[in-house]
Chains A and B, each alone.
Chain A
């Protein structure tokens, strides 16, 4: 194996890793936003809301993210709903902003289904008696959720949410297919330019691992701290 190409191309990996992190952060932020709304629907007392949220979660989890990516990427184009160009951001990323945002949106829509389940599980793990006590004091449903149940659910939710971020960092490699210059795309570029099909991938794998491993460790620490606290 020959890694001498790194001398010339190491910057590619840095730029790719940066873009991977940016798209993962956007995706998880969007995922949390949509996922929170979904979770509220999922635990709602209104059957239609519950059904809609459940359908979303089941559909997204039951279809490949690659298909979702194409559907959204070409669907947006077909509908004439392209994201606007944004030159400043484009220069920072070195990619087409509309494509980049379409990729981030896909990952956010996908991640939302998993985030929703993280929230739902976290909320339902809180003892029923907590909501009952809050309601029996006259607190409205929304207040009892916000002031009593959610703060307790956060202990279960935060570690799982961090884990979702790790998952999205890895899954974001799929957007290389629509030409977004993140880590995987950059590795492919190097493969083409050096005529070395194998070694650049090993380096890409190492860079992914360097991003996810410290994050996992950090999450483990946070989780232990959350569990040990007496509130």
Chain B
């Protein structure tokens, strides 16, 4: 049974149809890279998966159980699906440590000590344990995004959703964030990654979804997608992005 499954998923903002019926399924342990031109609906699709956007139609299943259109406990779903944003969205009024312990304490009810231990272990893992008492404003973009990733991990989610996690970073900081994501992928974390980093999609993903105009235009193993894309739109897209 798929971990996350969508059928005919649609989303419209007013009269603008952004998703036009997405059938997809994400298996546990996969790293799915979602690529495509801007405006193709990649981020909207991702944000529908944890119901940050409410779909306009179709269905969404988590572990086979319907969470849309059935009325589901959104908070329970989000607790099990972590999300990493393009602009990090760290809480600027809290220290790094408090950023990591807030949800485990509030949502999972962990005692402060345990939440703190968990936070410190995660910070050590991304080499930022010395930043525990720093505020986000004192960190570089790459550091912020690594913290944002471990903040999501502190909830021990079953899957992580990444919304263009390196797009707001200076080029020299992209590598440190991708390295963390590669590690996670190798460990078998289920990941859905909207990205413009074609090298990451090729090397770290287990599958590529190519989206175009609100639909999944092509779905393939990375090696196949990058060496011989089947659709003209994908060929065009790859020619443009790989040319740079």
Contact = CB atoms under 8 A, between A and B. Distances in A.
A81 interface: no
B195 to A, nearest CB: 18
A129 B155 contact: no
Interface of A is mostly: helix
A148 B137 contact: no
Nearest to B138: A230
Contacts of B76: 138
B78 A138 contact: yes
Nearest to B136: A231
Nearest to B154: A137
Contact of B103 (A129, A139, A231): A139
Given A138-B107, A139-B106, A143-B106, A133 B137 contact: no
Interface in B90-115: 90-94, 102-103, 106-107
A138 B155 contact: yes
B233 interface: no
A137 B92 contact: no
A147 B89 contact: no
A129 B78 contact: no
Nearest to A137: B103
A139 B92 CA distance: 17
Given A136-B50, A136-B52, A127 B89 contact: yes
Size category of the B interface is 20 to 34
Interface string B133-161: 00101100000000010011001000000
Given A143-B106, A231-B92, A137 B135 contact: no
A129 B86 CA distance: 10
A129 B89 CA distance: 6
Contacts of A143: 106
B151 A137 contact: yes
Nearest to A132: B52
A172 B76 CA distance: 50
Given A138-B155, A230-B137, A231-B137, A152 B106 contact: no
A137 B151 CA distance: 9
B186 interface: no
Given A132-B85, A133-B85, A147-B102, A139 B91 contact: no
B79 A230 contact: no
Interface string A132-153: 1111111110010001100110
Contact of A139 (B52, B75, B85, B152): B75
Interface in B164-181: none
Nearest to A129: B89
Contacts of A129: 85, 87, 89
A130 B93 CA distance: 11
A231 B87 CA distance: 19
A132 B103 contact: no
Give the most central of A132, A151, A152: most B CB within 10 Å: A132
Given A136-B82, A143-B106, A230-B137, A130 B91 contact: yes
B198 to A, nearest CB: 26
B87 A137 contact: no
Nearest to B90: A133
A151 B75 contact: no
Given A138-B75, A139-B75, A230-B138, A151 B85 contact: no
Interface string B118-140: 00000000000000000101100
B60 to A, nearest CB: 15
B83 interface: yes
A105 B185 CA distance: 61
Interface in A196-231: 230-231
A196 B138 CA distance: 63
6 contacts: A132-B85, A136-B81, A137-B79, A138-B75, A138-B79, A231-B92
